Amino acid sequence: MAVRAAARPADLARRLSLLLAAALIAAAAVPRAAASDYLVGANAYWLPTYGVDPNDAAKRLGVRLVRAWAFGPDMPYAPGKYSEDALKGLDYFVAGASRRGMRALLALGNFWNAYRGPETWTEWAKAAGGGSAGWTGDVVDFYRDPTARRLYKDHLSYMLGRTNTLTGQRYASDPAVYGYDVLNEPRCPGCDAAALSDHLSWLSEMGAFVKSTVSPSVLVLAGTEGFFTPQTSGVGLAATNPGAGAGCEGEDVLQITKLGPFDALTAHLYWRHMEHMKSLGWKRPGLELYLDWLDSKLELLTNLAGDLGKPFIAEEFGLTQRFFDAEQRKVVYAVLLSHLVQSKQRGGAFRAALFFGAANPALGDASGYDIDVTRPPTGKNVGLDNPPPAPGKQAAGGGSHGGKPPANGRRRALLRAQDPPPRGLAAAAPPPGVAVRGGARALSEAYASNPLDVLDAFRRGPARDACAVSAAYGWDFAQPGARVDAAAWKARVAGVELVDIIAEAAALLANR
Q: Rounded to an integer, what distance in angstroms lies between the CA atom of residue 341 and that of residue 344?
A: 5
Query: Phi, psi (5° rounding) for residue 9?
Result: -70, 150
Amino acid in the structure at residue 16: L
Q: What is the pLDDT of residue 424?
A: 30
Do residues 236 and 419 lie in contact, with contact meaning Cβ atoms separated by under 8 Å?
yes
Q: How many other C-beta atoms can be found within 10 angstroms of the C-beta atom of residue 167?
A: 15
Q: Are 314 and 264 in contact (CB under 8 A)?
A: no
Residue 428 pLDDT > 60, yes or no? no
DSSP character string of 438-464 = HHHHHHHHHHHH-TTS---TTTSTTTH
The C-alpha atoms of residue 400 and residue 487 are separated, in whole angstroms, by: 14
Q: Is the pLDDT of residue 39 over 90?
A: yes
CB-CB neighbours of 103 under 10 Å: 27
Rounded Cα distance between 61 and 357, Å, is 14
At residue 47 the predicted structure's pLDDT band, cuts being 50, 70 and 90, is: low
The mean pLDDT of the chain is 82
d(CA 504, CA 455): 37
User: Model's pTM, two decimal places?
Assistant: 0.85
Amino acid, single-letter form, for residue 92: Y
Distances (CA, A) of 430 to 40, 78, 248, 307, 434: 45, 47, 17, 38, 6
Pairing of strands 103-107, 39-43: unpaired
pLDDT > 80? residue 387: yes
pLDDT in tens, 72-81: 999 999 999 9
Question: Where does the pLDDT of residue 44 fall: very low under 50, low under 70, confident under 90, or very high at 90 and above?
Answer: confident
Q: Which residue has the higher pLDDT, 367 or 297?
A: 297
Helix axes 146-161, 193-213, angle to 10 degrees: 20
Identify each DSSP E strand in 70-200 by its residue range. 103-107, 177-181
The per-residue pLDDT for 50 is 55
Is the pLDDT at 431 greater than 90? The verdict is no
Predicted confidence band at 423 (pLDDT cuts at 50, 70, 90)?
very low
How many other β-carbons are positioned within 10 Å of the β-carbon of residue 114? 20
> Which CATH number, 3.40.640.10, 3.60.70.12, 3.30.200.20, 3.20.20.80, labels domain 12-510?
3.20.20.80
Q: What is the pLDDT of residues 440-458, one digit of tens each?
A: 333 333 333 344 455 777 7
Residue 410 and residue 299: Cα distance in Å, rounded? Answer: 11
Q: With beta carbons less than 8 A apart as the criterion, state whether 237 and 254 touch.
A: yes
Q: In whole angstroms, what is the distance from residue 27 CA to residue 62 CA?
A: 8
Measured between alpha carbons, how far is 499 from 329 in angstroms, rounded to an integer?
A: 12
- Residues 464 and 448: beta-carbon distance below 8 Å: yes
Q: Tell me if 56 sits within 8 A of 129, measured CB to CB.
A: no
Least confident span in 261-270, 271-280, 310-319: 271-280
| pLDDT average, residue stretch 231-237 | 93
User: Taking a C-beta distance cutoff of 8 angstroms, is the pair 161, 144 a contact?
Assistant: no
Confidence bin at 53 (pLDDT 50/70/90)? very low
Where are the domains positioned within the chain?
12-510
Angle between helices 326-346 and 486-493 (to 10 degrees): 100
Condensed to tens digits (0 to 9), the pLDDT of residues 332-361 reads 999 999 999 999 999 999 999 999 988 766
What tens digit of pLDDT does each residue of 133-142 get? 899 899 999 9
